[in-house]
Amino acid sequence: MGAILAFIFATYLSAVWGCQLPHDWRPQTEACRAELAEIIVFAKVLALHKDSYSVYNYLPWQYDTDLFFSAEIELQCDQAWGSMLEVPAGSRFNVTGLGYFPCYSYSAIENNSYYFFLRMDENYSIIPHGVNFQDPIFPDTPENHRMFASLFQFSNCTAGTMVHTYTPEWEAREDSRLLCSTVQKALFEEEERVKTLSQKVRSLEKANSHLRDKVKNMKRLLRQAKRDTKDQQTLSMKQLHDSKPSHPHQDTTQQKRPTLKRLSSRR
């Protein structure tokens, strides 16, 4: 009951303080993260011990020791391929740095067996290896058993512990296997590249839209200027026409008639 209340309290504080993950963070599968984990063991939790404030417990509620603990575990099987832990089966040691954190939780229950992703820090303490900020502790379920059995060869197992049955083809398969983490990293990089190009395309489309609006506005102003010029010319012609005399031909005829009479009398 206390563990449940602690988890609820941690979840509430996580929402208050927020979870800060890298902007390009993506979830990874257990198989991919297993390839990056330094140590993988199958062990039984013998006891849990409360932890006081330490370098791993740097949260605002650091003095609430119910949220932080270490686990005393008994090694049942060690990961044979690429492991950095060299201890015999049946060895007991502490895994510290367990508890409830803003973006993740490292928790275990007494008397249960788990697959652990672990690493050794600069002080030679064994701590969870939360690859990709995800949970590094997996309960002993048939699904997890099949997954880890297909990924790694476990050795130094306690008598009666059947984690994986060794086959001669295992080493050849392991040597020729394409690393999931490498492929996934390449996919993430390609995804980021496509995302960057999409942002550039959206920016260019926006600039193109602004340019179209500007061209439409210029065309509208040009049409308006042509109409204004035409109206001005029409008004000028009308004013010029209105300023001329009303009967110019009659005046000319009257002025020319006396001259014709004089010419005829002389003849």
Q: What is the pLDDT of residue 258?
A: 54
Question: Residue 175 contacts by C-beta under 8 Å, 6 or more apart in sequence?
Answer: none
Buried b (16+ CB within 10 A) or exposed e, 139-167: ebeeeebebbeebbbbebbbeeeebbeee
CA dist., res. 120 & res. 184, Å (int) = 25
The one-digit pLDDT tens for each residue of the chain (267 residues) are: 444 444 444 444 344 345 777 777 888 888 888 888 889 999 999 999 987 655 554 444 445 556 788 999 999 988 876 677 778 888 899 999 888 776 778 889 999 999 999 998 888 889 999 888 889 999 999 888 888 877 777 877 887 777 665 555 555 555 555 567 676 677 667 777 888 888 889 889 989 988 999 999 999 898 888 888 888 888 888 878 777 665 555 555 555 555 555 545 554
3-state helix, strand, coil split of the chain in percent (to 5) is: 50, 20, 35
Q: What is the pLDDT of residue 42?
A: 93
Q: Looking at the whole model, is its pTM more than 0.75?
A: no
pLDDT of residue 47: 94
pLDDT in the model for residue 169:
59
- What is the predicted pLDDT for the residue at 179? 65
Tokens found for residue 173: 């398969």
pLDDT at 66: 65
pLDDT of residue 45: 96
Q: What is the pLDDT of residue 139?
A: 94
Q: What is the pLDDT of residue 43?
A: 94
Q: What is the CATH number of domain 2-167?
A: 2.40.50.120
Ranges of H-type helices in the chain: 2-17, 30-36, 142-151, 169-176, 180-242, 248-266
How far lies 208's CA from each of 201, 204, 214, in Å? 10, 6, 10
pLDDT in tens, 32-80: 888 888 899 999 999 999 876 555 544 444 455 567 889 999 999 888 7
Where along the chain do its domains lie? 2-167, 178-230
